Amino acid sequence: MTTSLPSYASGTSEVPLLGDTIGDNVDRTVAAFGDRDALVDTTSGRRWTYREFQADVNAVALGLMGLGVEKGDRVGIWSPNCPEWTLVQYATAKIGAILVNINPAYRVHELEYVLRSAGVRVLVAARAFKTSDYAGMIERVRPNLEALEHVLLLDGEEWTSLCANGKSADPAALAERSASLSPDDPINIQYTSGTTGFPKGATLSHHNILNNGYFVGELCGYTEVDRICVVPPLYHCFGMVMGNLAATSHGACIVYPAPSFDPLATLNAVATERCTSLYGVPTMFIAELAEAAFDEYDLSSLRTGIMAGSPCPVEVMKQVIERMGMTEVTICYGMTETSPVSTQTRADDSIDLRVSTVGRVHPHLEIKIVDPETGLTVPRGEAGEFCTRGYSVMLGYWEEPDKTAEAIDAARWMHTGDLAIMDGDGYVKITGRIKDMVIRGGENIYPREIEEFLYTLPDIQDAQVIGVPDAKYGEELMAWVQLRPGAEPLDAQALREFCTGKLAHYKIPRYVHIVDEFPMTVTGKIRKVEMRERSVELLGVDAGDR
């Protein structure tokens, strides 16, 4: 009797893990590629070679040491994307301080929670961005925070003085500090956006994020000639690890098109800086492709890139390959707690695999898919919870051992909460979140499957499916739909007619809500929790008309 292989895979690799700290690694890159471009900020027109970048990073590092920042002290950064964000990232790594990434969208109560939870001693921040008065919010919470000693506004005298003082300080002090650091030291706290309660601080080491960035870059084929357009927010792993660290570990150039996502600025940056790689979540690529002026930009330099952060619609992925020329584009899957990437498609994978899976296990990692009830590994081809183990798993949630134990089991497997299927060749499909699953009249429904189908309707630009309360079935399906410019109006009846005969009857959305945009986090992830809340309100008023 033959038995199916278990849904388990390990990432073998002839390329060893890096044993560096982040500071040592970037110094090695400077030694090899000092005169090459390291960083370009298209908004301000500023640019750095690797040697210039090293000099400014060292100045910020020495400036922070001059404020008394010790190894293990927490330094917060609260700003949209800008070069100073990156200088602080590498400077804190060089002195062993723990960088606390603060979501640019946070409001007062969230800011105070993170600063208090992490015990932030020094906060570097933009003065304001869009409608957010960062300086004002900081002043409101500062009296309540005993640990917070210094606030450095990026356009303020304190920041200018810190950089100036660092440039005149003794570099031997920095060398001595850097030599005392271990790759296993905590170096970064990233607060994950919880759906209930306050966020948890995923604590990551040099070893975690440097290696993850490095191997993301390896699978994208990066060398010193690559130029990476980093669109996602730096406060998130997508920006600071998959973008910054993938670049600096290969001598590639980082290009920031705008402080926050702007589709035209992104297309312009790719064209003018001749970027070879472009990053984004699916909603970003959808917006870029929908620009009326899209065809006016020369994107012929693009070779690769990454779509990640949320499931990538098949039709969008095909357009990215065909219209943007990103023939080697990859899909990555992961989460903040795993530094972040656990699986990635390869450049030589077929288009079908690259549009229908999140690839295979990353080098030096293990993955498995388990029955959420028993914890046992399921056979290949069966759905279960995706788990991963290896160098990338976080040290834990900052000062929350109980929460850590809920996520990481005794064998150091990280339980992601994502539902997945592994095929016979080890390729993984993410089918939904355990908590996103809709149960309608006893039938388990995964919104992802329905969303993929709705993308095939020509007039639909984007679609998100959620479950809403229903007296008869427990839950009913509701589709939020974003139409293409110039599309014919769409109502629930027309959408149901399109689905009839193509989807099982219980998978056809009962309700349809047309929107111009979806509620999103700053990283571009759809906020389905907010969609459900708003849908309950909408249906409470209009349910009788649908």
Residue ending a domain, among 422, 452, 485, is 422
Do 414 and 448 reside in the same domain of the chain?
no
The number of distinct structural domains making up the chain is 2
User: 3-state SS string over 12-69?
Assistant: CCCCCCCCCCHHHHHHHHHHHHCCCEEEEECCCCEEEEHHHHHHHHHHHHHHHHHCCC
Do 166 and 294 reside in the same domain of the chain?
yes
Do 179 and 326 reside in the same domain of the chain?
yes
Mean pLDDT by 10 residues, the chain (546 residues): 83 97 98 98 98 98 98 98 98 98 88 95 97 95 97 97 98 98 98 65 98 98 98 95 98 98 97 98 91 97 91 82 96 94 95 89 98 94 96 97 96 95 96 80 79 90 92 88 92 90 86 93 81 91 36
Do 389 and 443 reside in the same domain of the chain?
no
Please report whether residue 7 resides in a domain. no
Question: So what's the pLDDT on residue 193?
Answer: 59
Do 365 and 249 reside in the same domain of the chain?
yes
Do 167 and 55 reside in the same domain of the chain?
yes
For residue 334, give the nearest of 298, 367, 356 by alpha carbon: 367
Do 417 and 443 reside in the same domain of the chain?
no
Rounded Cα–Cα distance for residues 76 and 113 (Å): 13
Please report whether residue 287 resides in a domain. yes
CATH code for the domain in which residue 480 is found: 3.30.300.30
List the domain range (segments joined by +) for residue 485: 438-545
Question: So what's the pLDDT on residue 146?
Answer: 96
pTM across the whole model: 0.87
Question: So what's the pLDDT on residue 311?
Answer: 65
Which residue in the block uniquely carries the two structure tokens 């957010």?
Answer: 132
CATH code for the domain in which residue 258 is found: 3.40.50.12780
Do 379 and 521 reside in the same domain of the chain?
no
Do 411 and 476 reside in the same domain of the chain?
no
Question: So what's the pLDDT on residue 197?
Answer: 53
Please report whether residue 2 resides in a domain. no
3-state class of 463 per DSSP? Answer: strand
Q: Which two three-digit tokens encode residue 498?
A: 């399109």
Do 390 and 463 reside in the same domain of the chain?
no
Question: So what's the pLDDT on residue 3?
Answer: 67
